Structure 1
Amino acid sequence: MNKKIVFFDIDGTLLSETTHKIPESAISAIHEMQKKGHLAFINTGRTFAFLDDAIMEIGFDGFLCGCGTYIQYQNRSLSHHKLPDDLCKKIVLLLRECELDAILEGKEKSYGEIYERVHSQIFRDFIDQYQYPYDTWDAKDLSFDKFFMYAGANEKFQRFKRELQDMFEFIDREHGFYEVVPKGYSKASAMKEIAELLQIELEDTIAIGDSNNDLAMLAMAGTSIAMGNSSKNLLDKVDYVTADVDDDGIYKALAHYKLI
């Protein structure tokens, strides 16, 4: 078998959204595939600042973060795309004018509106659930790569989108949430870049995900795998559907393809 690179999404793929833990079976499977000479990469919408200790301690070969805006291999930063300062300020202005809620995500940290000014209870619940540590939108060092927002039924969202749609992709994360990423960057673009660097053919890449922001990565991979708990949009677009994350889905997927 040729050396494979396996790209893992985090939330809902490696990390259970029920227990908020990574199954031990997934960790042991990753270690076993690495012992056999295959490479394991995180490929996530999260920016690097929000890779928690549980992820870092596994021992991944590299990290593709922020939907392709940051790439790291063997503890070495390879690329980082930050939005220009004037564009960052414009986005904050538009969010406030349109009364929209968002977390502005950077490599070092993220930024949010002062909690009392958050418009929707749904977004407050989101902040409380994930306990995002963040600075405010008025921070002097405001600098970010992408952002995650809630539109809900806000009619001003269409105006906001029109202002930025030439520069950004708006990925529908369902239930009124959007992941907003600069055009030209995605989980797929990062996957292609690292495969070329390591001189590994795309046919020897494997991607595992569960949500709409994984679609580009899954489409580009030589082998695409969806978790059993995936968004329904993925299930007919992949080569294989494994079990839920809480039912040892990662272990079963790697075993199915004889990587362990």
Structure 2
Amino acid sequence: MSEWKIDQNIKAAFFDADGTMISFATHRVPESTLVALRELRQNGVKCFLCTGRAPYTVEEVPLDSLEAFILFNGQFILNRDGILYQETMDKADIATIVGQVQAGMYQCLFMTAERMFVSGHDDLVRSIEARVGLTYEEDDPALALDADIYQLNVFLEPGQTDVVKQACNSIKMTRWTREFVDVFPRGGGKDRAVRKVLDLYGITPDEAIAFGDGGNDLGMFGVCGTSVAMGNGNPEVKEQADFVTDDVDRDGIYNACVRLGLIGR
């Protein structure tokens, strides 16, 4: 593990939401994180949200402290001026997944720009609802056939996802937690979105830092010059991060920013 020191002048910071910016215990952003965001901005660091969440599920996030928003794991990027980038999933792949859901193979959460709905509730779905503090509306999965879908949460545990991967042609999967995999267009992901944002704002990868806790954050870790894993993060995330900070509920973001000299004590 590296010392708490970076040589580059940091101009951009990317933050995952659940487990990084948002506490699993309170479903809120800790006060210390709000302080860190304000001080980062005062010090000239542009702060970006980079999450698998949809735009209508980020009420807890301090939007005024953020420059732009990467949503659906990178398939939708916007700032206060409007949409900067968007990509929806292949219709043939959606039809395949809807067919598997209708056959009872698993439950799936479908995400459009306006709403999200789940095909049904099982133990995996209920476990995630409790963890992130959300309740998913149930609806007919066939509605996804005529909708623009940006991302899916397919509720299959590790080792069970080949049934989806082998049946679809244009998808990519990342796993944040054991209960489900994020499914989105093959060329997508947080890594591509972070690159696009850096290009748009004229910031180099070496001038960027990323904070995350789950497998879907490894993409942005690979793009940014500095990466910080939360203390409550998954083991593989901690292994690949440059630094491991404290848990989200123990001022992890704030403490890392202080240790790295990005904000004052």
TM above 0.5, one fold? yes
Gaps of 5+ in 2: 1-7
TM-superposed deviation, 1:57? 4.2
2:142 matched residue in structure 1: 138
Q: Secondary structure at the match of 2:17?
A: coil
Change (3 A) 1:57 1:101: same
So what's the TM-score if we normalise by structure 1? 0.88
Question: Match for 1:255 among 235, 252, 258?
Answer: 258
Contact conserved, 1:110 with 1:135, CA < 8 A, in 2? Answer: no
TM-superposed deviation, 1:98? 5.0
Q: Secondary structure at the match of 2:110?
A: strand
2:58 matched residue in structure 1: 51
User: Counterparts of 1:154-233 in structure 2 under 5 Å?
Assistant: 157-164=161-168, 166-233=169-236
Question: Match for 1:32 among 24, 29, 39?
Answer: 39
Distance across 2 between alignment mates of 1:187 and 1:206: 13
Structure 1 counterpart of 2:235, one-letter code? K
Question: Match for 2:110 among 104, 113, 120?
Answer: 104
Contact conserved, 1:98 with 1:160, CA < 8 A, in 2? Answer: no
Q: Secondary structure at the match of 1:170?
A: strand
Give the paired residue count. Answer: 253
User: Counterparts of 1:144-155 in structure 2 under 5 Å?
Assistant: 144-152=149-157
| Stretch moving more, 87-96 or 100-109 | 87-96
Q: Give per-residue Cα distances to partners, 1:12-43, cap 9 Å, x unaligned.
A: 00001112111001001101110111100000
Change (3 A) 1:153 1:238: closer
> Sequence identity, in percent?
27
Distance across 2 between alignment mates of 1:218 and 1:68: 14
Distance across 1 between alignment mates of 2:210 and 2:203: 14
Contact conserved, 2:88 with 2:185, CA < 8 A, in 1? Answer: no
Q: Secondary structure at the match of 1:163?
A: coil
